[in-house]
Amino acid sequence: MKRIAVYCGSATPADPRYVTLAREVGETLAKRGIGVVYGGGRLGLMGAVAYGALDAGGEVIGVIPEALVMAEVANPDCTELIIVPGMHERKLAFTELSDGFLTLPGGTGTMDELWEAVSWAQLGYHAKPVGLLNAFGFYDLLLAFNRHMADVGFLRPAHHGLILHEPDLSLLLDRMAAHEPATPIFGMKAAEL
């Protein structure tokens, strides 16, 4: 993987572990020679990921909607800052520029990005790994809900493992690098659906 799209919050939680984690993620990716593609902001976990990577000599490509540039939250220190009209174009750029997706703790926007990456993998719009860093048990309930969707039958057996999740970044990155794509819906016959 040459570049990974990192999804995370633009907020700064009161618990400092989250910002420290984000900074360590950026640094680790840079040390592994993996470029960061992210939301282009300078605040919260987003900024911490970017500066962690930049300080370690890594490539950082920010993709930010025009409205957020106008709100003065864009990170001018990125290796490259791409300004797009809106959120749809931003998520498309993440997919086009990256070789995989890594989700850190975050809020509504982070969930939107994660689920779109999973949905597109399920359908067959991409065959890239979707990783979820379950640091501090942050995503325990989301993973339980994902299992519930599978148990009820809303996830096909071929797609139960689309979200690669680990509490340890190194292990998660290794799993993402070894990723084998699932059979997408576009590749299935009607009897398999």
Query: pLDDT digits over 37-78, tens only?
Result: 999 999 999 999 999 999 999 999 999 999 998 888 899 999
Helix axis angle for 87-97 and 108-123, nearest 10°, is 60
Q: Given a cut of 80, is residue 94 above it in pLDDT?
A: yes
All residues at 6 or more sequence positions from 5 whose CB lies less than 8 Å from its CB, including other chains = 37, 38, 94, 95, 97, 98, 100, 101, 102, 113, 117
106's tokens: 């975050």
Cα 3 from Cα 59, distance rounded (Å) = 9
Surface-to-core class of residue 2, CB atoms within 10 Å of its CB (0-12 exposed, 13-18 middle, 19+ buried): exposed
Q: Given a cut of 80, is residue 191 above it in pLDDT?
A: no
In this predicted model, what pLDDT tens digit does every residue of 109-126 receive, in sequence order? 999 999 999 999 999 999
Determine the pLDDT at residue 47.
Answer: 97
Q: Which SS3 state, helix, strand or coil, does residue 133 take?
A: strand
Cα 111 from Cα 103, distance rounded (Å) = 9
Q: Given a cut of 80, is residue 130 above it in pLDDT?
A: yes
β pairing state of 35-38 and 60-65 = parallel
In the chain, what are the domain boundaries? 3-179
Determine the pLDDT at residue 138.
Answer: 98
Q: Given a cut of 90, is residue 190 above it in pLDDT?
A: no
Q: Given a cut of 80, is residue 159 above it in pLDDT?
A: yes
Length of the chain: 193
Q: Given a cut of 80, is residue 193 above it in pLDDT?
A: no
Give how far the C-alpha of residue 181 lies from the chain's centroid of Cα atoms, to the nearest Å. 17
Determine the pLDDT at residue 192.
Answer: 75
Cα 105 from Cα 154, distance rounded (Å) = 25
Count of Cβ atoms closer than 10 Å to residue 12 Cβ: 16
Please list the alpha-helical segments (H only) found in the chain: 17-31, 44-55, 66-70, 87-97, 108-123, 140-152, 169-177
In this predicted model, what pLDDT tens digit does every residue of 5-16 receive, in sequence order? 999 999 999 999
All residues at 6 or more sequence positions from 144 whose CB lies less than 8 Å from its CB, including other chains = none
3-179 topology per CATH: Rossmann fold (3.40.50)
Determine the pLDDT at residue 2.
Answer: 98
Confirm whether pTM is higher than 0.75. yes
Determine the pLDDT at residue 36.
Answer: 98
Q: Given a cut of 90, is residue 160 above it in pLDDT?
A: yes
**CA separation, residue 123 to residues 4, 72, 162, 187, 193 (Å):** 20, 36, 11, 8, 12
